[in-house]
């Protein structure tokens, strides 16, 4: 569907005057309404704003493409506006938007908006095209610029019937035509999580740069509408190198034995020349696929440490929603049940509190099996998920035949970690041992042999080998911390607070948290307060930094301010993870110091918490709450000060 066919003169504004993103959307919707495409203007506007809440449509390079697919649209349409002075549109690159195209699509099975999005994205990657639109003196010139660009980019749509017999394929229409025998020197696959703009922008950037460099290329786009221009086996066999510019999984088995470059989709846009130079250098390492035809592979020379880290992160990323959602529900149960504070029924003394507590604890209790299951799956693929989950459940229960049930000690977080890695490598071993079975038994592996031997062996390993020593280790750790508390409460508070910020939800954090929750049962509620304040400090300190010292953070980092305030107040330490991951040396040390100070002050002020979660949502049941808030503010300010001292202002001259 051509751009010029969707635009109407009434829906084009060449001298837009807007000062904010909401005002821009209001103006664009008005232009769309002037074209007569809308049945319900307010409903359509609501849809556009709802789409922006998911993620910004300011795709960078001065371009924004808001859109909505809704029943409020009578017929597909476009509206366009040129804002010569630019407007802050929360674009991904932080730059003002100067060209805004609004797409309206009816709520039908046809994904018109996706077709138009991909078409616009490809056209707008051409800087000359963007300049032509910006400098158009009138609407006629604006339409002419688009028409010429479409004729050049999509010539097949303008060919006469006499030429249709040439049967030009979609592949040669979109990519650079090369002789059939020579093939393509470089192949590429582009894919972004949403599968819309950046997928096609990366493809266009690689194609344009390859044309400048005289390199033949074909790009497969894995967009939201499915894979387009799919690479054939013959093309893969004949090419010199494949570039994978993707932020999501793509099928990798087909590239086994070929030189492969793996990178982010953003690099496909901004570093096209660098990627193409590397692809044609002859120095790219060969990719070796491990897994089935539809499974994601690993680079052959990937270090063991990197593999372990990726497997761990796979488990943690799947675990976090259970921890966060369940934890907040548990906190709500304590908040609702404040009248029962100090009683054995605290958190379940009323029907509503009991509901929150039951659901929250059920979700929270899935933390260990989900962690272990998805670590295992990252190593041994889908068959390893089941023994990993079973191992995580056994770690949680602390099952041991050496002790009566009342003396079982959960091997907890450390046990679940071990269970995940053991299950993953155990399944790899089982696959190896069973690969020589007759082909007639192949179908029994996933439904009988893997489950039976996986559960049996994981049970033996967890009950006999993992739970006893790791459970004893947890007991020893708790005893050490308890004895430390008797000699110096303030030092204990500093240690526990610092532990909460060393790894933001990792083993040290979990060890401190488990100790804090266990201490509640023995009446040491001051320990739980120190643990909680230590976990709240990092996100709040980072939020203060992004709020008060914007010049040290990117546009996207600045947009996390409110989120980190909320996560910090909710006792969700994981809000600090993105910052720690991107700049560990300048983020982690200030967080550890700030949390240690906050934990020590909480102990010194005699603060206490009977709730194991909730943050400021349970402030009403925290002993000496005013001084708890003081300690939290001091710790957050120290964190902020450390970050600001270590991080230099960003270079914004470029």
Residue 103's beta-bridge partner residues?
67, 78
Judge whether 66 and 103 are in contact, CB under 8 Å: yes
Pairing of strands 260-263, 241-246: parallel
DSSP per residue over 497-560, as a string?
HHHHHHSSSSHHHHHHHHHHHHHHHTT-HHHHHHHHHHHHHHHHHHHHHHHH-GGGS-HHHHTT
Judge whether 383 and 447 are in contact, CB under 8 Å: no
Strands, E assignment, 224-280 = 226-228, 241-246, 260-263
Q: How many CB atoms lie within 10 A of CB 521?
A: 7
Residue found under tokens 């526990």: 496
How far apart CA 89 and CA 558 sit, in angstroms, is 14
Length of the chain (residues)? 654
Q: How many CB atoms lie within 10 A of CB 341?
A: 17
Q: For residue 96, give the 3-state DSSP assignment.
A: coil
Judge whether 65 and 117 are in contact, CB under 8 Å: yes
Q: Which of 407, 427, 530, 525 is nearest to 471 (CA)?
A: 407
Locate all alpha helices (DSSP H) within 35-110, ordered by sequence: 41-54
How far apart CA 118 and CA 123 sit, in angstroms, is 9
How far apart CA 488 and CA 481 sit, in angstroms, is 10
What is the C-alpha radius of gyration for the chain, rounded to an integer number of angstroms?
29
Residue 622's beta-bridge partner residues?
609
DSSP state letter for 138: S
Judge whether 289 and 256 are in contact, CB under 8 Å: yes
Q: Which of 645, 540, 639 is nearest to 596 (CA)?
A: 639
Pairing of strands 241-246, 58-60: unpaired
Q: Which of 313, 318, 307, 347 is nearest to 331 (CA)?
A: 347
How far apart CA 337 and CA 308 sit, in angstroms, is 42
Nearest-10 Cα torsion for 626, 630, 632, 634? 180
Q: Which residues are catalytic?
A: 67, 192
Reported as type and span, the H/E element at residue 131 is helix 127-134
Which long-range contacts does 559-567 make (Cβ < 8 Å, 24+ apart)? 559/90, 564/539, 564/540, 565/539, 565/540, 567/539
* First and final C-alpha spacing in the chain: 37
């Amino acid at each position: 569907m051509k751009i010029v066919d969707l635009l109407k003169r009434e829906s084009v504004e060449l001298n837009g005057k807007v000062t904010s993103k909401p005002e821009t959307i209001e103006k664009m919707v008005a232009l769309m309404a002037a074209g007569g495409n809308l049945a319900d203007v307010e409903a359509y506007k609501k849809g556009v704003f709802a789409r922006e809440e998911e993620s910004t449509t300011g795709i960078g390079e001065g371009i924004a493409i808001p859109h909505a697919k809704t029943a409020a649209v009578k017929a597909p349409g476009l509206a366009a506006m040129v804002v010569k002075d630019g407007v802050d549109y929360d674009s991904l690159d932080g730059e003002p938007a100067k060209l805004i195209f609004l797409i309206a699509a009816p709520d039908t099975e046809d994904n018109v908006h996706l077709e138009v999005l991909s078409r616009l994205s490809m056209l707008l990657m051409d800087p000359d095209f963007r300049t032509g639109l910006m400098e158009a003196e009138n609407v006629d010139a604006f339409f002419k610029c688009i028409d010429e660009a479409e004729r050049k980019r999509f010539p097949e749509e303008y060919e006469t019937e006499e030429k249709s017999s040439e049967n030009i394929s979609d592949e040669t229409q979109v990519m650079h035509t090369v002789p059939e025998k020579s093939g393509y020197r470089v192949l590429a696959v582009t894919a972004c999580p949403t599968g819309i703009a950046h997928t096609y922008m990366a493809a266009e950037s690689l194609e344009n740069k390859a044309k400048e460099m005289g390199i033949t290329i074909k790009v497969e786009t894995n967009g939201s509408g499915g894979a387009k221009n799919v690479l054939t086996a013959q093309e893969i066999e004949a090419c010199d190198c494949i570039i994978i510019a993707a932020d999501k999984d793509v099928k990798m088995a087909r590239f086994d034995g070929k030189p492969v470059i793996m990178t982010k989709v953003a690099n496909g846009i901004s570093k096209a020349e660098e990627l193409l130079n590397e692809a044609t250098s002859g120095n790219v390492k060969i990719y070796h696929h491990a897994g089935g035809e539809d499974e994601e592979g690993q680079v052959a020379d990937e270090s063991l440490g990197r593999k372990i880290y990726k497997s761990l992160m796979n488990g943690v990323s799947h675990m976090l929603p259970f921890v966060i959602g369940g934890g907040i529900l548990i906190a709500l149960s304590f908040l609702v049940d404040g009248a029962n504070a100090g009683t054995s029924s605290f958190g379940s003394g009323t029907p509503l509190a009991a509901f929150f507590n039951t659901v929250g604890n059920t979700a929270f209790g899935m933390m260990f099996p989900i962690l272990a299951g998805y670590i295992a799956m990252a190593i041994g693929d889908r068959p390893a998920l089941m023994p990993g989950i079973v191992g995580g459940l056994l770690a949680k229960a602390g099952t041991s035949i050496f002790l009566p049930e009342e003396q079982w000690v959960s091997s907890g977080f450390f046990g679940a970690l071990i269970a995940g890695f053991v299950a993953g490598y155990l399944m790899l071993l089982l696959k190896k041992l069973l690969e020589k079975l007759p082909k007639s038994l192949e179908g029994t592996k996933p439904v009988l042999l893997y489950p039976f031997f996986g559960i049996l062996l994981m049970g033996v390993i967890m009950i006999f080998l993992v739970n006893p020593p790791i459970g004893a280790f947890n007991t020893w750790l708790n005893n050490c911390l308890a004895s430390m508390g008797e000699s110096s409460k303030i030092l204990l508070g500093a240690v526990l607070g610092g532990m909460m910020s060393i790894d933001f939800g990792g083993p040290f954090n979990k060890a401190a948290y488990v100790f804090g929750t266990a201490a509640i049962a023995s009446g040491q509620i001051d320990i739980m307060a120190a643990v909680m304040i230590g976990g709240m400090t990092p996100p709040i300190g980072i939020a203060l930094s992004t709020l008060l010292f914007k010049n040290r953070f990117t546009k996207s980092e600045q947009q996390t301010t409110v989120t980190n305030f909320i996560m910090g107040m909710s006792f969700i330490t994981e809000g600090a993870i993105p910052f720690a991951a991107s700049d560990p040396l300048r983020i982690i040390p200030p967080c550890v110091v700030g949390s240690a100070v906050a934990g020590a002050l909480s102990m010194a002020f005699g603060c206490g918490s009977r709730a194991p979660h909730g943050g400021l949502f349970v402030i009403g049941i925290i002993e000496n709450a005013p001084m708890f808030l003081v300690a939290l503010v001091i710790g957050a300010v120290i964190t902020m000060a450390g970050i600001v001292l270590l991080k230099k202002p960003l270079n914004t001259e470029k």
